[in-house]
Structure 1
Amino acid sequence: MTMWQLSGWGLWLIIAIRFFPREFWPKLKSEPSYQHLVFSSILSLSILWSINAGIINGLNIHFLLLTTLVLSHGWRIAMLLCVLISLALIVFQRIPLADAGLFALTTFIIPGLFSYLLFLASYRYLTRHLFVYIFIAGFIGAALTIALHMLLVSLWFYAEGRFTWDIIYDNYLRLSILTWFPEALLNGSAITLMAIYKPHWLRTFYDREYLSPER
């Protein structure tokens, strides 16, 4: 392992232990409906993150659906679920074991926290309305989150010397523009459907505040 890979593993383990959601296991055991949400989330993202596209081998692009995961479970539980997804991807050799730490940091720990902070900012500073929740926390948040993810991956590959910046920029970073709208639409649609039909699946959605006739 390189220094970067070891550092990635170390930071991943520190963050995972420090922010481990102790409320997750009791909730999972006691609520069958929550079990369905958890397992469907893991399966959906495992499949989505396994489907890669790109111009150069190693510079692969995939949708995240991370904003939906964070808004459904909160950042800490979302991070735990992504750990399980990462382990599955390692077992099926979709990502190298040595890269798992940096993959975690650039794919779901930092982008997931960023997405959650965007939600908190919208909740605190904007009108608490269903449209604001879907469009700002969901749609725009998802677009900015995947943009941040691809920037972090670009900086990782450049710092580690895997590719030159010209190759990364021309064959990966510039393509991020093509992912913003589809990622935003994917997350926005999922959050809209859940807010309407399964609001209890969204841990960050509060009926009394977002659907209050007084607002």
Structure 2
Amino acid sequence: MTFWQGAAWLLWLGLLLRFFPRDVIFRLKSDTGYQHLWFSSILVTALLWSVQAGIEPGLELHLLGVTTLVLCHGWRIAWLIGSFAVILLVAVGKISLTDAGSVAMLTALLPALFSYLIFALSYHYLPRHLFIYIFVAGFANAALTISFKMLLTAMWFHWQDLYSWNSIYQNYLQLALLIWFAEALLNGMAITLMSVYRPHWLRTFYDNEYLSPDR
């Protein structure tokens, strides 16, 4: 394990302990429906992250789904779900134990925080309308979040001198042109379906604001 891999591990664990959502334990014990949502979120996230394609090792491309996690659970629980997905992928051998900290930081924690920031900006500065929620907080947010994640990953590998910037750009960053629409569509469709049929699953969706007739 390199110094930076160890630092990523410590930062990951430190942030999880500092911002651990303590109320989630009680809710998991008392709400069977929430248990199903929680564990299905972990499983779906792990499946999304396990389906990878890439040219260079470590610079694999996959769908993220973090925006949906954030809008469903909030950023703290999204961090926790993403971390459990990483642990599951380590257990099945898709991620090495030494890389678990950096993968968690670059794939779950920092993208979730960025995604929540985009949601918060749309909530405070744009009209609170259902279509704003779906297309800005969902669709556009997901596209920006996966682009942000890819940029973070590129900077991480370049910082450690594992690949030249030209190689990273040619073999990884250019692929953002292929993945951003798929990511936006996936999250946009998920948010649309849940806002219509399962609005109680969306922690960030408020019926009295987004569906108010005077808005």
**Displacement, 1:61?**
0.4
Which amino acid counterpart does residue 63 of structure 1 have in structure 2? L
Aligned residue number for residue 149 of structure 2: 149
Aligned residue runs from structure 1 range 195-206, under 5 A: 195-206=195-206
Residue 22 in 1 paired to residue 22 in 2? yes
**Cα pair 2:74 2:203 within 8 Å, conserved:** yes
Structure 1: runs of 5 or more not aligned = none
CA distance in 2, matches of 1:115, 1:42: 18
Question: Residue 86 of structure 1: CA displacement?
Answer: 0.8
Partner of 2:68: 68
One-letter identity of the residue aligned with 1:180 = W
Letter of the structure 1 residue corresponding to residue 40 of structure 2: S
Residue 156 of structure 2 is aligned to residue 159 of structure 1: no
Instruction: Report the secondary structure of 2:60's partner residue.
Output: coil
The alignment yields a C-alpha RMSD, in angstroms, of 0.8
The one-character-per-residue Cα deviations of 1:5-27 (angstroms, maximum 9, x if unpaired) are 01101111110100000010111
Task: State the AA in 1 paired with 2:208.
Answer: R
Amino acid at match of 2:201: W
**Residue identity opposite 1:20 in structure 2:** F
User: TM-score scaled to structure 1, two decimals?
Assistant: 0.98
Q: How many residues align?
A: 215
Write the letter of the residue equivalent to 2:39. F
Shift of 1:58: 2.9
Could you tell me how far 1:140 is from its partner in structure 2?
0.4
In the alignment, what sits opposite 1:126? 126
Q: Using the TM superposition, name which of 93-102 and 194-203 deviates more.
A: 93-102
Corresponding residue for 2:176? 176
1:1-215 counterparts in 2 under 5 A?
A: 1-215=1-215
Letter of the aligned partner of 1:175 in structure 2?
L
SS at the partner of 1:161? coil
The CA deviation string for residues 61-84 of structure 1, in whole angstroms up to 9 with x for no partner, is 000011001100000011111111
Deviation >4 Å, runs of 4+: none
Q: Which deviations, in whole Å up to 9, do the C-alpha atoms of 1:139-187 show, x marking residues without a partner? A: 0000000000000000111111221111111000111111111100000
